[in-house]
Amino acid sequence: MNLQPKKELTEQEIQRGLKFVIGDGLAAEAMTALTGGAFLVAMALLMGANNFQIGLLAALPTFTNSFQLISIWLVRKYNNRRAIAVICGFLARVPLLIIGSLPFFFSSSTTVEVLIFFLFFYYFFGSIAGPSWNSWMKDLVPEKSLGAYFSRRSRLTQILNVVLSITLAFLLDYVKQHYPQYELYTYATMFVVGGVTGIIGSIILSKAPEPLGIPLRDNILKLIKRPLEDPNFRRLLVFNSAWVFALNIATPFFTVYLLKTLGVALSLIIVLGIISQITSILTIRMWGTFADRYSNKTIIGISAPLYIGCFIAWCFVGIYTHMTANIILLVLIYIFTGISTAGINLALTNIGLKLAPKEDAIVYLSAKNIITACFSSIAPLVGGYLADFFTSRHLNLRVEWSGPKFTKVFRLVELHEWNFLFLIAALLALIALQLLMQVKETGEVEKEAVVRIMRTSIRNSLKEYTLIGHLIGWHEQLWTIIKKTLALDGRKKISE
């Protein structure tokens, strides 16, 4: 297998390579769907994980990003990003095979501690592969189509995730109801299949060509100081760190809250996740198009407030007597979450690629990942501690109506354990968003102007985005309805 880079790539080689990158993305997404997300949390809870251990599981992916300095050292020494990404990607899949094999051969050794131990190496090698892959993609994917290409790649991987997730969720619920003694073995089989699929993805990725990168000459410390000495990139680091800290205090515990507190079935949780992904699939192309046309910063400024609103809405989940009302609220939350995260994740990835100089891309992106990893990994641990702290604390806000015929108590807000986390995360995210204003991006357009352009474009030509068009201009539509209603009432009174 020849993994050496080439000095120059033809257009045909580039286009062929981009297809292989999508193939690897699909394999990696299948692997993640089988071994991560709600399934990993459910498996950990089945094995008796506590809040701190759940937080530790959530912290592992970002904590291991601190080892990305190894990736910089390897690139500096060998100047072969493809070999580093492919080999480390392959090594990252092996622990998944070990985790999946343990229940079949060493059932007594299958504990949460063992799970965390092997997942550490899974994320460790993945973190080394990541910067090499990012730098490689920056040179391989044409800059003018970064948003469009990665939005298409994300759309395809999310479609695959939807199909796999719903199938696996119903399978697991069936096993849990009819063959509970085999539930852990089902998770183990998923890990084995996920590991094999990931290895296939590494083989596919090895076929994508790599343009020869500019060698890194300075030592590691001097290299890592470069992005920190760049004022604009430093401001991006501050915003991104504050943002991921705010989000990761609460997001790892959404599934735990639904499973433990509300007793929601795993299949329903996956369906909610699929609803979120479908809305993300339907909108990510729009976000990518407008990110390329205007700026990533503007896209974050539009979608982030919507995401913060979803965190606030989580505080109201569970306060209703009827489960149907809670489910309706959850559906709305997941719809808006899918819409907003599609824009946020795409823009955060692209703005990092855009602000990183081509010759130092791996250094800048690694510094970004390492620094944000510190805050992102601490946040779930803080969240787990806060969840335990608020377990015995409640805050209830109620309104009581008393009358001659009936008395009714309306529960406005009921905060306890997890809900406190969601509110704290929303407040911290709102503060973090203010830091985005200090970041400068080439081609930046005022948010209000882009909102008007997006709304006009959506309404006139993109029927599939009609929902988003209404969401963007909901306040104007509401005011128009109010004015029409008032005008109609006025005319009725005059005629009377």
| Res. 27: pLDDT tops 80 | yes
pLDDT band at residue 66, thresholds of 50, 70 and 90?
Answer: confident
For residue 416, give the DSSP letter: E
CATH code of 290's domain = 1.20.1250.20
The C-alpha atoms of residue 339 and residue 299 are separated, in whole angstroms, by 12
Average pLDDT across the chain, whole number? 81
Tell me which amino acid residue 287 is.
Answer: W
HSE toward the beta carbon, residue 401, CA cutoff 13 A:
7
State phi, psi for 265 to the nearest 5 degrees. Answer: -65, 150
pLDDT band at residue 443, thresholds of 50, 70 and 90?
Answer: low
Q: Which of 45-54, 86-95, 164-173, 415-424 has the lowest mean pLDDT?
A: 415-424
Q: Which of 82-96, 116-130, 460-474 has the lowest mean pLDDT?
A: 460-474
Q: What is the pLDDT of residue 297?
A: 81
| Residue 459 located in a structural domain | no
pLDDT band at residue 493, thresholds of 50, 70 and 90?
Answer: very low
The C-alpha atoms of residue 124 and residue 316 are separated, in whole angstroms, by 37
Summarised one tens digit per residue, pLDDT across range 336-382 is: 999 998 888 888 878 887 787 776 777 787 788 788 888 888 888 88
- Start-end of H helices in 108-182: 112-140, 146-178
Calculate Rg over the CA atoms of the chain.
24
Three-state secondary structure call for residue 262? coil
- Average pLDDT score over residue span 320-339: 88
Q: Which of 24-38, 286-300, 435-449 has the lowest mean pLDDT?
A: 435-449
Q: Which residue has the tokens 């919507």?
A: 306
**Higher pLDDT among residues 131 and 32, named by residue:** 32
Q: What is the pLDDT of residue 216?
A: 65
| Kind and range of the H or E run holding 396 | strand 394-402
pLDDT band at residue 333, thresholds of 50, 70 and 90?
Answer: very high
Q: What is the pLDDT of residue 22?
A: 94
The C-alpha atoms of residue 239 and residue 300 are separated, in whole angstroms, by 11
Token digits for 176? Answer: 């849990």
Three-state secondary structure call for residue 48? coil
Q: What is the pLDDT of residue 495?
A: 53
| Residue 492 located in a structural domain | no
| Res. 98: pLDDT tops 70 | yes
Summarised one tens digit per residue, pLDDT across range 109-126 is: 678 889 999 999 999 999
| Residue 435 located in a structural domain | no
Q: Which residues pair with 397 in a beta bridge?
A: 413
State phi, psi for 4 to the nearest 5 degrees. Answer: -75, 140
| Residue 221 located in a structural domain | yes
Cβ proximity of 27 and 198 under 8 Å: yes
Percent of the chain at pLDDT > 90 equals 22
| Residue 436 located in a structural domain | no
Q: Which of 153-167, 307-321, 405-419 has the lowest mean pLDDT?
A: 405-419
| Res. 472: pLDDT tops 60 | no
Residue 19 CA, distance from chain mean position: 23
- Start-end of H helices in 48-80: 51-63, 68-78
Summarised one tens digit per residue, pLDDT across range 222-259 is: 777 788 888 888 888 899 899 999 988 988 888 888 88
Token digits for 48? Answer: 């008796």
Q: Which residue has the tokens 């920190």?
A: 228
The C-alpha atoms of residue 195 and residue 205 are separated, in whole angstroms, by 15
Domain that holds residue 97: 11-392
Three-state secondary structure call for residue 357? coil
**What Å distances lie between residue 344 and 78, 480, 490, CA to CA?**
34, 29, 44
Contacts 24+ apart (CB under 8 A), 354-358: 354/143, 354/146, 354/296, 354/441, 354/442, 355/232, 355/233, 355/236, 355/441, 356/138, 356/227, 356/233, 358/138, 358/139, 358/214
Cβ proximity of 409 and 399 under 8 Å: yes
CB atoms within 10 A of CB 394: 12
Instruction: Tally the domains of the chain.
Output: 1
pLDDT band at residue 467, thresholds of 50, 70 and 90?
Answer: very low
The C-alpha atoms of residue 394 and residue 11 are separated, in whole angstroms, by 62
**What Å distances lie between residue 145 and 150, 294, 437, CA to CA?**
8, 13, 25
| Residue 197 located in a structural domain | yes
| Res. 448: pLDDT tops 80 | no
| Res. 213: pLDDT tops 90 | no
| Residue 76 located in a structural domain | yes
| Residue 99 located in a structural domain | yes
Token digits for 380? Answer: 């779930």
| Res. 426: pLDDT tops 70 | yes
pTM higher than 0.95: no
| Res. 446: pLDDT tops 60 | no
